[in-house]
Structure 1
């Protein structure tokens, strides 16, 4: 009976995990068959990476036993996984796009006498949008950044190709497939924090739980929804800007990836009708 109860809890958790993901996939034209095929690749990838002995990749026989996928098919998928994935590259591109926007709000050379972001010429002069991208874009082409930030609603073109920044954060426009990828990276990082806290930190002495908290209630007056959103937009953005300052102060430039780690925090609102 206990096993049946555990299975029911796992199935309920799986339904909670998949429901918003499936909704996003259907809105982007991804069929069940495509999802099933890709999921099979992910099962092999995770089993190979996380369940080896003494830090070595898991062999094909064990992957097959764990996942229920035929050993020959496991071998085929492992060959596919050896090819480089664009996901990490796009995530880094999004991070660099965010740094361009933050630089416009934080780099003194791009602020007016009141400490507000200056209106910038597109590429003429020493202090221009092109120079902003050169300093903070990590090598991204300035015209590509300009096009993306215009599409995302971050900047507006005024007369004589003068640019004004409209908001201090970047997220890809909803019609852009990269917006779905960004959503995937957000879910991935939150899920990995939960995975770490559930299965890694309790079993390894040197690992500590990662910060993960919620503040929510099912009994809020529906009339207060908009007021809460306004409150969260102000307080959440202020908190993230303080985090961004800390991150900026602790970044290093090195090609040795063993000396760096990805750190950050995500803030998200909660709203669901009872």
Structure 2
């Protein structure tokens, strides 16, 4: 156990570096991080560390987290108040872009997203939003996509998709939200693979080389971007078709699923 704790301490210290970088950049103090950590400890204790077939208690959560019962009770109340705010919902713009990239009605002969008229009962931005936004108006979605740089209005009646994905430009809050969602998904996969040993492990792979010259770095960055985008577009198209067939009235269990790909480059060649 002591060896495992040392390994965890080293790994968490390394993991906290990019998080600390972001927190310091946006003037979030150590005490605010400590409060978030306490809330996370209590939330996880209640969700994942109760005695089988028994409801978790304040006293038991206090024992396993090391926090006082008064503190646990306070944090439980805060977590319950913010449960609705903290719940993750798909970004509407992301869903619209996904449909634009995968639905044959909105693709040209080269399978590229069409320039769309803003309005119309046939193929238009309005019908795209009606099909994929989940009830949000076309005007609201367009304003958000223009604001974040995802689309360009060619004139007063036509709109063009600029990026094969929702990458907000000039919106730090949305960028942070996307980054932390992706990071949380990756860590959740790792947690599943470490703790759910009686279940099939989730796919988690990485290719890494050190001492690579700058010319190879640039070439690999371009190649990996091209191949990754090709794979993601194929998967998006497949999932989009399955989503169309999805019966919202079905009693079958529902899950949020996906695949994440990221590129990295650094000067640190430690393992």
1:133-174: CA deviation from partner (whole Å, max 9, x where unpaired): 111111223222212222332211112331111122113335
Deviation at 1:8, TM superposition (A): 2.8
Is structure 2 residue 86 aligned with structure 1 residue 87?
A: yes
Deviation at 1:15, TM superposition (A): 0.9
Which residue in the other structure is 1:33 paired with?
A: 31
Is 207-216 or 173-182 further displaced after alignment?
173-182
Residue 216 of structure 1 contacts residue 270 of structure 1 at CA under 8 Å; is this kept in 2?
A: no
Which residue in the other structure is 2:117 paired with?
A: 121
Number of aligned pairs?
Answer: 265
1:182-209: CA deviation from partner (whole Å, max 9, x where unpaired): 2111111110110111111x2x3xx110
C-alpha RMSD of the superposition: 2.1
The aligned runs of 1:1-274 (5 Å cut-off) are 3=2, 5-83=3-81, 84-88=83-87, 91-94=88-91, 96-124=92-120, 126-173=122-169, 175-200=171-196, 202=197, 204=198, 207-251=199-243, 252-254=246-248, 259-274=253-268
Deviation at 1:57, TM superposition (A): 4.1
SS in 2 for 1:85: helix
Deviation at 1:11, TM superposition (A): 1.4
Deviation at 1:127, TM superposition (A): 2.5
- Structure with higher RCO (Cα < 8 A, 6+ apart): 2
Structure 1 stretches of 4+ moved >6 Å:
none
Whole-angstrom CA distance in 1 between matches of 2:264 and 2:251: 35
Is 156-165 or 53-62 further displaced after alignment?
53-62
The unaligned stretches of length 5 or more in structure 2 are: none
The unaligned stretches of length 5 or more in structure 1 are: none
TM-score, length-scaled by structure 1: 0.88
Distance 1:115 1:253, change over 3 A: same
Whole-angstrom CA distance in 2 between matches of 1:257 and 1:167: 36
Residue 122 of structure 1 contacts residue 129 of structure 1 at CA under 8 Å; is this kept in 2?
A: yes
Distance 1:93 1:262, change over 3 A: closer
Residue 102 of structure 2 contacts residue 233 of structure 2 at CA under 8 Å; is this kept in 1?
A: no
SS in 2 for 1:79: helix
Is 5-14 or 39-48 further displaced after alignment?
5-14
Whole-angstrom CA distance in 2 between matches of 1:231 and 1:264: 22
1:251-273: CA deviation from partner (whole Å, max 9, x where unpaired): 31315675211211100012111
1:61-110: CA deviation from partner (whole Å, max 9, x where unpaired): 1111111111011112112222233233xx4232x322211222332332
1:212-236: CA deviation from partner (whole Å, max 9, x where unpaired): 0001111211232221111111000
SS in 2 for 1:164: strand
Residue 102 of structure 2 contacts residue 240 of structure 2 at CA under 8 Å; is this kept in 1?
A: no
